[in-house]
Chain A
Amino acid sequence: MINRWLLLLVCLFTLSTVSGCFEQHSIENLTISMLVGIDVNENGQLIISQSSPVFSTEAKENEEDYEVISNSMRSARDRFDTLTLGLTSSNKAQVILIGKELTKVNGWQSLIDVFFRDSRNTVSARMVYVDGPVSEIINFKPKDKPRLPFHLSKLIDTALKRNDTTRTTIQDFHRQLHEKGNTPSLTAMRKEKDIILLGTALLNQQAGFVMNVTPGETKLLYILENKTRGEFPYTLIMPMNESEGIINKNILSFNMQKIKTKIKASYSDGKFKFNVHIKGQIYLTEKLFNKGIRDSFDELEQKISKLMKRDFTKLVTKLQRAAIDPAGFGMYARAYAYPEWKKAEKNWTDAFKEADVNVNVNFKLIGVGAIE
C-alpha cells in the first residue's frame, strides 16, 4: 500500500513538470515578425526590417514596421527587442525580402544561418528578391489589401498555381546554394503602383543577382526542372501572316498538361551533352487567327511543338550565356557522367556554358476548344 502511495506521489510530481512552462510566452508579449527584410542602404550598412501584426484594439494601424542597422539577423533581433513592445520572434515568418543591393554583397547568404541553427525558427518562409529597396515594400500600406505579409504570401502562392513565379523557401534556397549542380532562383518582386511579381530572379553560385526572367520563361524553367504541378498556360505568336496591330491576330494560347520531362546526360569530345525530352498534352484556349484548325490539326500540333522547342532552346542558350544553371542540369551530369562531373563540379557553370543542350518537344494536341 505504501508503494502505491509513493507511486502516486511520484506521478503527481512528474505531472507538475509536464506542462513545460519554462519558456512560455503569451501572445500579447510577442512581436511576431511575419515579414523580414534584409537590405543594404546608401551608406553600405546592413538594414534589417520587420513587419508584425498588432493585436491591440487601441492601435489605429494593424501592423507595425521597424528598421534597424545591424550586422546579423540575431543582433538585429536584439535591437528589435529594444524597439517593440513584445519579444521579437521570427518563427512565424512568411516572407523574407532580399534587397537588390544586398545581392551585390559577397557572402550575404551566410545571414540565413540562424534559420537553420536555431531550431525554433521556421525554414518554410518564402525568399523574395526585391528589385529595388526593401523599405518601399515594407512601408507599403495599400487600403484595399490585407496585411502585407498575407498579401505577399498570397500573391506568391496563387501565382505559383499557374507557375508564373518561383516559390523558393529558405530550405529550398539552402539546398540550391549547396547543391553544386544548380544555381539558386528566387521569386522576383517590384513595387510600382502596386506590388508586382516579375517572374523569377536568377542568382549565380555565389548568390549574386544575375538576371530576371519573365513569368513565361519561368514556366519553361519549371518544365525543365520537371516541376510540373499546377497549370501551365502559355501564349505563342504563330507565323500566320495576319495583321499585328493593336490586336496581334497571330496569337494562339493554350494550356499544357501532363508534362513529363526526361533529361539524359553524357560526356564526349570534352563537353557535356544533354538530351531533354519534353512530352505533354495541349488544350487550346484562345486563337485569334482566321485559319481553321479541323483540316490542319496535325500541322498545328507540329508547329506548336516546333515553336516550343525554339522557346526552350532560346531560354537554355540565355542561361548558358549568363553562366547560370537554375534548372539543375548539373544534377543530371552527376547522375550520368560521374567521373567527368567530379572534375567539373567545382566550376560547374563554366562547364555548363560549353555544354550541348538538345531539347526535343513532343506535344500532343488533345483539344481545340468548343468552337472551330
Chain B
Amino acid sequence: MKKKPVFTFLQFSLLVHSMQVGTGILSLPRQLAEIAGTDGWISILLAWGLNVCFGIIMVLVMQQYPNDTLPDLFMRLFGKVIGRVFVLLLVVHFVFFSWSVLVNAMLYIQAWFLPLMPMTMIMMLFVVPAYMMARHHIVAIARYCEFVFFLSLWMGFVFIIPLREGQFVHMLPLIKEGWLPIFKAVNSTTFSFIGFEIIFLVYPFLNRKELAIPGVLLGNTFTLLLYLASTIVCFVYFSPDEITQYNQPFLSLLKVVEFRFLERFDIIFLALYLFVVSTAWVPYIYSAAYCSSHLLGSSNHSMHVLLFSVASLVIVTIIQPSWNQSELWKTWAGYSGLMVAYTLPVLLLLYVKLIKLVPRKEVHP
C-alpha cells in the first residue's frame, strides 16, 4: 500500500509563510505610509494578530473532519451540487490570485530590468518552471518552499545596510494622528498577508495535526518579521514626506545599496527574489489546479496546471497587461482573498458547529 504523503511542522509553517510573501512587500511601505504615515508598522502588527486568528479558525474548521481537504469538505457538507458551486468559487479565487501574482511579478521584472523584453517571453520564463513544480503533489511543493526559504535567508541582512544612513527620528512621534489611520491601514496589508488559506488544502497531509496552530503562528510570524523589518527600514531611510512618491519604496531602497565592487544591487536582489515570489505562485497554481480537478472529478491535476500555464501565456499575449490593470487585479484579488480567507472560515466554523448540534437535538429532544 502506498503511504500517504505527509509533511512536517516546519514545512507546513514555511508553506504558509511563502504563500503570503510575494510581490506585496515591494509596495507595502508606501501603501501603509499613505494612510498611517510612519505609524504604518503598527498596522502590520495588528494585521498579524488578525491573520493568526483567522488561521486558527481555519484549523478549527479542518479539525472537525481531519481527512478532508476543503473541496471534500464542501461536498460532504453541502452535497454534490451546492458543494461544486463553492468549489468553483474557490477555483476562481485561486486562479485569479495566481494570475495577479504572476502578472505583478512580470511587470516588476519588465519595469526594473528588461524594459524591451516582450511580456510573453517573461511569462514563459515564469510558467515553465511553475508548471514543472505545480504538477507535483503539494508535499513536494512544500519542500521546495522550505528549500527556497533557507536559500533566501541572507536577504534579510541586506536590510541592515541602508539603516546606517537612516534617521530614526522619522518614526517619532508614535501614533501621530490617533489610532483610526492605523486601523484603516490594516486593510492595505490584505494582499500581502493572504495565502494562509492553503491550510484548507494541506491540513490532511500534516503529520502532527496538534501542531497545526503553532505552525500557523510560526508561518505568520516569519511573514510579520519580514514585513516589519522592510517597512521600518524604508520608513527610517526615506523621509515620511517623501516615501509616498516611490511606487515601490523597497526597490528604490535597494537601489541605494552599493558596494565597492557592485552597483545596482536591486537588480540582483530582484532577480533572486523571484525565487521567493515563485513560492507564492507555485502553491497558488497548484491550489487552483487541485480544486478544478476535484470539480471535474479527476484525480490528476497536472493537466489543469498545464492548461493554466498555457492560458496565462495566451492571455498575457493578448491583453498586454499594464500597471494600472495589474493594480486593479491586485485590489480584486484582495477582495476575493477577503472572502476566502476571512469570511469563509468563520461561516464554515459556524455551520459545522451548527450541524453538529442539530442531530444531537434530534436524538435528545
Interface residues of A (CB under 8 A from B): 7, 10-11, 14, 17-18, 20, 22-23, 116, 119-120, 122-124, 169, 171, 174-175, 178-180, 328, 331-332, 334-336, 338
For B97-120 the 0/1 string (1 means CB < 8 A from A) is: 000000000000001111111100
Interface status of B256 (Cβ within 8 A of chain A): yes
A residues less than 8 Å from B172 (CB atoms):
334-336
Q: Does B128 contact A (CB under 8 A)?
A: yes
Please classify the interface of chain B as helix (H, G, I), strand (E, B), loop, or mixed, using the class held by over half of its residues. Answer: loop
Q: Chain B's nearest CB lies how many Å from the CB of A238?
A: 35
A336 and B173 contact, CB distance less than 8 A: yes
Establish whether residues A119 and B173, one from each chain, have CB atoms under 8 Å apart when the complex forms: no
B222-242: which residues lie under 8 A (CB-CB) from chain A? 238-242
Output the least CB separation between A20 and chain B (Å): 6
Contact of B241 among A23, A124, A171, A180 (CB under 8 A): A180
- Alpha-carbon distance A116/B172, docked complex (angstroms): 27
The residue from B112, B114, B256 contacting A20, defined by CB atoms under 8 A apart: B114
Whether A178 touches B242, Cβ cut-off 8 Å, given contacts A22-B116, A22-B117, A124-B258, is yes
CB pair B111 A119 closer than 8 Å: yes
Q: B131: nearest residue on chain A (CB-CB)?
A: A10
Q: Nearest Cβ in chain A — how far from B316, in angstroms?
A: 14
Q: Is the CB of A17 within 8 A of B111?
A: no
Task: Assess whether B356 is interfacial by the CB under 8 Å rule.
Answer: no
A17-B121, A331-B167, A335-B172 known; A10-B128 Cβ under 8 A = yes
With A174-B242, A178-B241 as known contacts, state yes or no: A17 contacts B124, CB within 8 Å. Answer: yes
The interface residues of chain A, by DSSP majority, are classed as helix
B128 contacts across to A, CB distance below 8 A: 10-11, 14
Q: Known contacts being A178-B245, A331-B167, A332-B169, is A119 close to B112, with CB within 8 Å? A: yes
Q: Are B116 and A23 in contact (CB under 8 A)?
A: yes
A23 touches B245 (CB 8 A): no
Residues of the A chain whose Cβ atoms lie less than 8 Å from the Cβ of B353: none
CB neighbours of B176 from chain A (8 A): 338
Starting from the known contacts A14-B125, A23-B116, A116-B252, 11 additional A-B residue pairs (CB-CB under 8 Å) come to A17-B125, A20-B117, A22-B117, A22-B118, A23-B114, A175-B242, A179-B241, A334-B169, A335-B169, A336-B173, A338-B176
Q: A17-B124, A178-B245, A179-B239 are in contact. Are A171 and B256 (CB under 8 A)?
A: yes
Complex Cα spacing A334 to B118, Å:
47
Flag if A335 contacts B242 (CB, 8 Å): no
Interface status of B255 (Cβ within 8 A of chain A): yes
State whether B255 touches A123 (Cβ < 8 A). yes
On whether the beta carbons of A331 and B170 are closer than 8 Å, the reply is yes
User: Using Cβ atoms and an 8 Å threshold, which residues of chain B touch A169?
Assistant: 256
Q: Tell me how far the C-beta of B114 lies from the nearest C-beta in chain A, rounded to whole angstroms.
A: 6
CB closest residue in chain B, given A176: B239
6 contacts between A and B (CB under 8 A): A22-B116, A124-B263, A175-B238, A179-B241, A335-B173, A336-B173
Please name all residues of chain A whose beta carbon is closer than 8 Å to the beta carbon of B251 when the two chains form the complex. 119
Q: CB-nearest residue of chain A relative to B176?
A: A338
Q: How far is the CB of A337 from chain B (nearest CB, A)?
A: 9
Indicate if the CB atoms of B239 and A175 lie closer than 8 Å.
yes
Report the nearest B residue to A91, measured CB to CB.
B264
Chain B residues near A335 (CB, 8 Å)? Answer: 169, 172-173
Q: In the complex, how many angstroms separate the beta carbon of B233 from the nearest chain A beta carbon?
A: 14
What residue in chain B is nearest A331 (Cβ atoms)? B169
Nearest-neighbour CB distance to chain A for B119, whole angstroms, equals 12
Q: How far is the CA of A180 from the CA of B244 in the complex (A)?
A: 14
List A contacts of B111 (CB < 8 A): 119
Least distance between A266 CB and chain B CB atoms (Å): 12
Contacts of B125 in A (CB 8 A): 14, 17-18
In the complex, residue of chain B having the shortest beta-carbon distance to the beta carbon of A17: B121
Given the complex of chains A and B, what is the CA–CA distance between A119 and B121 in angstroms?
21
Tell me the complex Cα distance, A116–B245, Å. Answer: 10
Q: What residue in chain A is nearest B237 (Cβ atoms)?
A: A175
Q: Once the chains bind, are A124 and B256 in contact (CB under 8 Å)?
A: yes
Using known A-B contacts A17-B124, A331-B170, determine if residue A179 contacts B255 with beta carbons closer than 8 Å: no
Residues from chain B with a CB closer than 8 A to the CB of A17 are: 121, 124-125
Are B173 and A338 closer than 8 Å at their CB atoms? yes
Residue contact B169 to A178, C-beta cutoff 8 Å: no
> How many angstroms from the CA of A175 to the CA of B117 in the assembled complex?
32
Residues of A within 8 A of B169 (CB): 331-332, 334-335
Within the complex, the shortest CB–CB distance from B310 to chain A, in Å, comes to 11
Bound CA span A300–B348, Å:
78
Q: Which residues of B contact A336 (CB under 8 A)?
A: 172-173
Interface pair A23/B117, CB less than 8 Å apart: yes
Chain B residues in 8 Å Cβ range of A123: 252, 255-256
> Chain B residues near A23 (CB, 8 Å)?
114-117
A145 to chain B, nearest CB (A): 22
Within the assembled complex, what's the spacing in Å between the Cα atoms of A120 and B218?
38
- Complex Cα–Cα for A155 and B128 (A): 51
Cα-based distance from A2 to B342 in the complex (angstroms) = 44
A33 CB → nearest B CB, Å: 15
Chain B 150-171 per-residue mask, 1 if CB under 8 angstroms from chain A, else 0: 0000000000000000010110
Min CB distance A297 to B, Å, is: 35
- Contact partners of A179 in chain B: CB under 8 A: 239-242
Q: Which residues of B contact A175 (CB under 8 A)?
A: 238-239, 242
In the docked arrangement, what's the CA distance between A294 and B241, Å?
A: 52
Task: Provide the bound-state CA to CA distance between A335 and B258, in Å.
Answer: 30
With A119-B111, A175-B239, A336-B173 as contacts: A14 and B124 at CB distance below 8 Å:
yes
**Bound-complex Cα distance A120 to B113 (A):** 7
Which residues in chain B, 131-187, are within 8 Å of chain A measured between CB atoms? Answer: 132, 167, 169-170, 172-173, 176
CA distance A270 to B246 in the complex (A): 35
